[in-house]
């Protein structure tokens, strides 16, 4: 199986002013594309070439001999999921997901604070996630390419806090980027 860069579910300028077209051109068009291309090269002629991204991630997680394959597969998956978590006019959810956040965190505001803290306090490159764990919602953060699916968890929302996700628009103001994401762009998945 050869993996392809998935189409964005919106135009390159659709997330402005929160994420610029220039950032998406680099982040999606260069970074995400490179992960997909590198993965295809690394799995060619191996047992992994017939597996899905999820299967590759689960099969290679924590195995030093497959670090390159894991990193590129996980980053390809993480980015494809991240693009689905963005929409202009997003932000505070409604309906069932809001009720679950209020139940599991005590309030939407407490979830917002915990998620933002996870994203801002992630040292170096990584991700902040809303996941389903043992039937409850939880916030977690992962370093580098790590992903909740490598740990058997179901992701519902993520924000990329690698510098390439925000630096052109926010420079070193990661907290401002995360706040813009949560307040204006967040699109929760089920």
Q: What residue ranges do the domains of the chain occupy?
A: 21-84, 95-185
The 3-state DSSP class for residue 171 equals coil
| Secondary structure letter of residue 169 according to DSSP | H
Domains 21-84 and 95-185 share a fold: no
Instruction: Please state, in angstroms and rounded to a whole number, the distance separating the CA atoms of residues 124 and 184.
Output: 24
Q: Which residue has the tokens 């801002």?
A: 120
What would the pLDDT profile of 41-92 be if each residue is shown by its tens digit? 999 999 999 999 999 999 999 999 999 999 999 999 999 999 999 999 999 9
Other C-beta atoms closer than 10 Å to the C-beta of 8 total 17
Residue ranges of the chain whose pLDDT lies below 70: none
The pLDDT value recorded for residue 190 is 85
Other C-beta atoms closer than 10 Å to the C-beta of 66 total 18
The pLDDT value recorded for residue 101 is 98
CATH match of 21-84 with 1.10.287.990: yes
The pLDDT value recorded for residue 105 is 98
Protein fold of 95-185: minor pseudopilin epsh fold (3.55.40)
């Amino acid at each position: 199986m050869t993996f392809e860069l998935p189409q964005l579910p919106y135009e390159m300028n659709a997330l402005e002013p929160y994420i610029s077209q220039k950032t998406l051109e680099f982040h999606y068009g260069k970074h995400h594309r490179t992960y997909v291309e590198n993965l295809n090269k690394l799995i060619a002629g191996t047992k992994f070439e017939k597996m899905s991204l999820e299967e590759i991630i689960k099969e290679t997680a924590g195995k030093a001999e497959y670090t390159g394959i894991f990193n590129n597969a996980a980053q390809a998956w993480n980015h494809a999921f991240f693009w689905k978590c963005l929409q202009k006019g997003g932000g505070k959810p409604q309906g069932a997901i809001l009720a679950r956040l209020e139940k599991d965190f005590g309030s939407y505001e407490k979830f917002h604070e915990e998620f933002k803290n996870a994203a801002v306090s992630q040292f170096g490159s990584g991700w902040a996630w809303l996941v389903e764990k043992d039937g409850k919602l939880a916030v977690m953060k992962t370093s580098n390419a790590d992903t909740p699916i490598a740990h058997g968890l179901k992701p519902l929302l993520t924000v990329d806090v690698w510098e390439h996700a925000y630096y052109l628009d926010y420079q070193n103001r990661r907290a401002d980027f995360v706040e813009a994401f949560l307040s204006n762009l967040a699109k929760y998945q089920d």
